[in-house]
Amino acid sequence: MPDFLVIGGGITGLAAAYELFREGQDFILIEENDYFGGKVKTNLRDGFVIEGGPDCFLSEKPQVFQIARELKFEDKIIGTNDEFKGTYILSGGRLHELPEGLMMMVPTKIIPFALSPLISWPGKIRMGMDLFIPRKKDDEDESLYSFVTRRLGREALEKIAEPLIGGIHAGTPEEMSVKASFPRFVEMERKYGSLIRGMLAAKKAFSNRPKTKSNITYFMSFQKGMGELAENIVKNLPDYKLFTGKKAVKVTYQKGKYRTYLTDGEIIESKHVILAVPAYNAAELLEEVNKDLAELLAQTGFASSATITLAYRKEDWPFKVNTFGFVVPRIEKRHLMALTYSSVKWSYRVPDQSFLLVRAFLGGANNQEDVFLPEQDMVNLVLAEIKDILGVKAKPLFYEIFRWPRGMAQYKVGHLERLDKIEKLVFEMPGLALAGSSYRGIGVPDCIKSGREAVRNLLNK
């Protein structure tokens, strides 16, 4: 009987397993898929690096660097090719470059912002009013919609915040909790009384940071894609402790012992269980352990999305690409959510420079049904959108589709209050921990933090 059972071998479960290993604990990890990494999934194909889920992590969060340093694969980390940094936004059917100095959704440089045709003059003046609008008086949660329209106005919401910021969660601004999804913005308002002032301060702090020799960019990845992160953690753990193809169906608790039932009839007994699975899976598994907890977990919202990577010969693409890609606001009423020129944004993504790798995003809160289209319909839809928006008629050499049903947790207004109740119930259960993207951060660094903290909390309990 292992002391610890980790259920779920995504990046969260792997981080938990690694922490247990470091602490010399007796553990096993089970994963239902035939691979480790969960949404962190990269396919390597004839020199192409094809990301299924995340294609980067945020460099301002230290957890990926930390684990890579501890396991000595830091040298595999790469930055973006920032000479091509521009991102475009589709507006009125045309692509407009995001004005230089626009950070997240906040303008920090006056002249490029003033000259940009993306936002109308009344819209620009409204955004500038952020400098004068008093900070929110109470501490109540509010939606991203309410927060952005209050501080920057409706045009900023529709053209910038919704596709750029809401898009990170594939969510609906009217529902998303700003406190749970973007605590940084709330903190900026609280501390500086203005997002513009807050962003200028963040920019100054970033440029004053101690300079390192390495190329630190806002988004970072690995030479062989994000899969290299999962792969290196797995490589450093004893393989007899990690199992794929094992799905848990039920957990029970009796006399200080958890019993986890698997689909193949096996029962694993352990003193501790770490559920590193999405909240809807955790809800099903914990039904018999604690009904109230299971009900609260089941209330977590999720959005589905799909990524379609298309490989082209550069000579077939009618123009030279020198940007990271574009995002599509929902007011444009299109299916495409965003498109990334992966091989321009990153090095090491194509076998040689005669190829172009493009990644399209479908689904999200507004077009969930697209995620479940038959393969050929999905590809035709993406190619039609690319033709419409970019005028590109070229046929790809090949494509790869990844579907993520209920792949992205939605932190809706009230998420943090529900989380408090969940955490209280979990705390009362000896030996139980929940970790992962359903709770306090969906990004890969947040998941690593959550997995490692789950172990520390159990050891200190």
Q: Which helix (H) or strand (E) holds 118?
A: none
* Residue 19 contacts ligand FAD per CB under 6 A: no
Residue 276 engages ligand FAD in binding (rule: CB under 6 A):
yes
To ligand FAD, the closest distance from the beta carbon of 435 in angstroms equals 7
3-class state of residue 303 by DSSP:
strand
* CA dist., res. 154 & res. 147, Å (int): 10
Please report whether residue 53 would count as binding ligand FAD according to CB under 6 A.
yes
In whole angstroms, give the CA distance from residue 448 to residue 452. Answer: 6
Q: Which stretch binds ligand FAD (CB under 6 A): 81-89, 141-149, 313-321, 403-411?
A: 403-411
Q: Is 9 in the site for ligand FAD (CB under 6 A)?
A: yes
Nearer to ligand FAD, 394 or 408 (CB): 408
Q: Based on CB atoms, which residue is closest to ligand FAD, 149 or 437?
A: 437
Which candidate, 409, 209, 402, places its Cα nearest to that of 299? 409
Scanning residues 219 to 258, which ones bind ligand FAD (CB under 6 A)? 247-248
Q: Match 């794929």 to its residue by tokens.
A: 244
Q: What is the smallest separation between the CB atom of 281 and ligand FAD, expressed in angstroms? A: 4
325 interacts with ligand FAD by CB under 6 A: no
Contact string (CB under 6 A) for ligand FAD, positions 406-425, x = contact: -xx-----------------
Count Cβ atoms within 10 A of the Cβ of residue 297 and give its class: 0-12 exposed, 13-18 middle, 19 or more buried: buried
Measured in residues, the chain has a length of: 461
Dihedral sign of CA atoms 269, 272, 276, 277 in order: positive
Note whether 434 binds ligand FAD by CB under 6 A: no
Q: Among 11-19, 327-335, 412-420, 453-461, which window interacts with ligand FAD (CB under 6 A)?
A: 11-19
Q: How many CB atoms lie within 10 A of CB 149?
A: 18
Identify any residues that bridge with 412 across adjacent strands, giving them in sequence order: 176
38 binds ligand FAD (CB under 6 A): yes
201: CB partners within 8 A, 6+ apart: 192
Residue 211 phi, psi (nearest 5): -75, 135
- Interface residues for ligand FAD in 55-94 (CB under 6 A)? 55-57
Binding site residues, ligand FAD, CB under 6 A: 7-13, 30-33, 38-40, 53-57, 247-248, 276-278, 281, 305, 307, 404, 407-408, 436-437, 442-444, 447
